[in-house]
Amino acid sequence: MIDVNELRKGVTFELDGNLLKVLDYSHNKTGRGNANIKVKARNLLTGSTIERTFSSGQSVQDVNLDFANVSYMYNDGDMYYFMDNQTFEQPAIKKESLGESALYLKEGMEVKLTFYKGEAIDVELPTSVDLKVVEAEMAIRGDTATGVTKKVTTESGVTVQCPNFVNIGDTIRVDTRTGEYLTRV
């Protein structure tokens, strides 16, 4: 059992027969009484997102997870296929289970795959990924006293706010945790 005060972003737990991964966490303590812990979590089996509020002192069920380093191979629209780097097995994950992570996957990318009871359920991406820009808004000359940005679309479909000097064909580094532009590569 895990005390709800120990829940943080990325922690996986079981609640009411559902396997949940914490996406966002907030701890609120009022003057009197117990603290409230508000959790936004994604159901790893169905892909749906829920919000739940716990009182301090409650606990949730801990889960045993297995991990494997894999390479992303391809997708067929609904399923994403990976190859284990040591056993050469090819586990697959549903697109709904990946959520936003699917937008950052590139062929050949090394990722960490999470297994629950022998079934692949989640993927842990590297902190940043390099993506090629395929579409960009026109840059507006002049207003350079402020940090002028424009929207660009990458090869995987991610839309990112970038500085004006980024053009179609450039490769940019994007933070997979926040979806923000880091640098031009």
Q: If one looks up domain 66-124 in CATH, what number appears? A: 2.40.50.140
Could you please report the per-residue DSSP string of 106-175? -TT-EEEEEEETTEEEEEE--SEEEEEEEEEPPPPSS--SS--EEEEEETTS-EEEEETT--TT-EEEEE
- In this prediction, residue 109 has a pLDDT band, given cuts at 50, 70 and 90, of very high
2-62, which class in CATH? mainly beta
Q: Looking at the chain, which residues constitute the CATH 2.30.30.30 domain(s)?
A: 2-62
Strand 159-163, strand 149-154: pairing: antiparallel
pLDDT digits (tens, 9 = 90+) for 125-149: 999 999 999 998 886 666 566 677 8
Does 3.90.550.10 match the CATH number of domain 128-184?
no
pLDDT above 70 covers what percent of the chain? 96
Tokens of 159: 């839309």
For the whole model, what pTM was predicted? 0.75
d(CA 167, CA 109): 24
pLDDT digits (tens, 9 = 90+) for 5-61: 888 888 889 988 888 989 888 988 888 778 899 999 988 888 788 999 998 888 999
Query: Are 175 and 128 contacting, i.e. CB atoms less than 8 angstroms apart?
Result: yes
Q: Looking at the chain, which residues constitute the CATH 2.40.50.140 domain(s)?
A: 66-124, 128-184
pLDDT score recorded for residue 141: 66
Name the 3-class secondary structure at 95: helix
Mean pLDDT to the nearest integer, 138-161: 80
